[in-house]
């Protein structure tokens, strides 16, 4: 059992990291789809870059929560009860975001589509912000008593370090999404995505450096940065440089490493705690005083070893199948006979996000 407790902390860390790497560019595309796609065809093209992927990426969040519940029920109980209102807001953001993919194309009305576009943008911004604040609060500390009960209010969650963590993750998602759109689109959309990436990159770099320094101080590490924290700084510097040098593929890889290193720095600074108590260090929730029994951890480990490779293989295959670039021209209505190519012949209808291109 003693060996399985740190193993499951690592599993949960990997799940949260995978969620932010994969869903991070989805959030970025959701926030940027209106800026990159200036018209209806462009917005549809931007959304369709993640249409076949976003729901599979979101599964990582569900599995991360389920793993916390099964492996560390004490951690799950305290965190989810203390963050109750924040979790309701998170669920609302994820729900309206998912609904916008499915419903924005159900009516051919400008106001209808614009409403869902706004909800997609807001939901894609709120989700990483709220989760980032929650993860930051785990490390910074919250009022928890000797019974492992959260004794604060909703406003106690809005601590400066938690807010910085949330804002940093939002900015990384923006840069991650912009570089992804540069890889997945063509023509003017690709150029606009590149320009947006170059505008966001300096802000993201500054936020990541500030986050890493504050994380190092909060976790009580020594003066020097840990290897993971140093990796986050080097990766974001590389991402800024690569974006300005128009190296899209390498820039996307650098934003991926930046996101992973930032999430890992939180969890490595947290261990062996899972929630820090600002009331007293004696009340900290740790991997040992919140873990499930030995038999439960053993059964879960067997299940993960058997099924996780299949899940990873399936998701890898999905990315391979939908690897091609998406063009705005794919979503223009057919031109009337004798009209020049690319000239719209009527109103643009909008199928669901994952639907095949019109025309």
CA angle, 121 as apex, 90 and 256 as ends, to 5°? Answer: 80
Please state, in angstroms and rounded to a whole number, the distance separating the CA atoms of residues 282 and 224: 27
Among the listed residues 63, 278, 254, 260, the one whose alpha carbon sits nearest the alpha carbon of residue 159 = 278
User: Residue 86: its pLDDT value, please?
Assistant: 92
Residue 110 burial (CB < 10 Å; 0-12/13-18/19+)? exposed
pLDDT tens digits, one per residue of 292-349: 999 999 999 999 999 889 888 988 998 888 888 988 888 777 766 655 554 444 444 4
Question: Would you say residue 118 has pLDDT above 60?
Answer: yes
Q: Which residues contact 314 (CB under 8 A, 6 or more apart)?
A: none
pLDDT tens digits, one per residue of 211-257: 999 999 988 767 788 999 999 999 999 999 999 999 999 999 999 99
For 82, the enclosing helix (H) or strand (E) is helix 73-82
- 96-104: long-range contacts at Cβ-Cβ below 8 A with a sequence spacing of 24 or more? 96/120, 96/122, 96/123, 97/30, 97/123, 97/124, 97/127, 98/54, 98/55, 98/58, 101/47, 101/51, 101/54, 101/352, 101/353, 101/354, 102/352, 102/353, 104/47, 104/350, 104/353
Chain centre distance of CA 26:
7
Q: Which two tokens stand for residue 309?
A: 């490779």
Among the listed residues 58, 66, 65, the one whose alpha carbon sits nearest the alpha carbon of residue 25 = 58
Residue linked to tokens 């203390």: 82
What is the mean pLDDT of the segment spanning 280-303?
92
Q: What is the DSSP letter of 150?
A: B
């Amino acid at each position: 059992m003693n060996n399985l407790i740190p193993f499951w902390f690592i599993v949960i860390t990997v799940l949260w990291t995978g969620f932010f790497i994969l869903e991070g560019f989805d959030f970025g595309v959701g926030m940027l789809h209106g800026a990159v796609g200036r018209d209806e065809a462009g917005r549809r093209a931007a959304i369709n870059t993640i249409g076949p992927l976003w729901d599979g990426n979101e599964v990582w969040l569900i599995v991360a929560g389920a793993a916390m519940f099964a492996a560390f029920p004490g951690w799950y109980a305290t965190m989810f009860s203390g963050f109750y209102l924040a979790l309701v807001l998170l669920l609302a953001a994820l729900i309206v975001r998912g609904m916008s993919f499915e419903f924005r194309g159900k009516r051919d009305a400008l106001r209808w589509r614009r409403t869902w576009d706004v909800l997609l943008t807001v939901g894609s911004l709120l989700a990483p912000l709220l989760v980032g604040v929650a993860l930051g609060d785990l490390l910074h500390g919250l009022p928890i008593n000797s019974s492992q009960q959260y004794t604060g209010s909703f406003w106690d969650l809005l601590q400066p370090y938690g807010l910085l963590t949330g804002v940093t993750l939002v900015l990384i998602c923006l840069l991650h999404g912009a570089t992804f759109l540069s890889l997945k689109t063509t023509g003017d959309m690709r150029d606009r995505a590149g320009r947006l990436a170059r505008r966001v990159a300096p802000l993201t770099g500054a936020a990541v450096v500030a986050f890493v320094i504050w994380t190092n101080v909060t976790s009580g590490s020594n003066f020097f940065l840990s290897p993971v924290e140093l990796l986050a700084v080097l990766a974001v510097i590389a991402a800024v440089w690569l974006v300005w040098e128009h190296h899209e593929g390498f820039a996307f890889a650098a934003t991926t490493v930046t996101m992973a290193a930032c999430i890992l720095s939180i969890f490595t600074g947290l261990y062996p705690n899972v929630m820090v108590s600002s009331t007293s260090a004696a009340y900290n929730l740790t991997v040992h005083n919140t873990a499930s029994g030995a038999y439960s951890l053993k059964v879960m480990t067997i299940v993960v070893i058997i099924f996780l490779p299949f899940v990873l293989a399936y998701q890898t295959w999905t990315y391979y199948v939908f690897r091609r670039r998406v063009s705005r021209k794919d979503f223009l209505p057919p031109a009337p006979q004798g009209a020049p190519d690319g000239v719209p012949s009527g109103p643009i209808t909008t199928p669901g996000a994952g639907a095949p291109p019109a025309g």
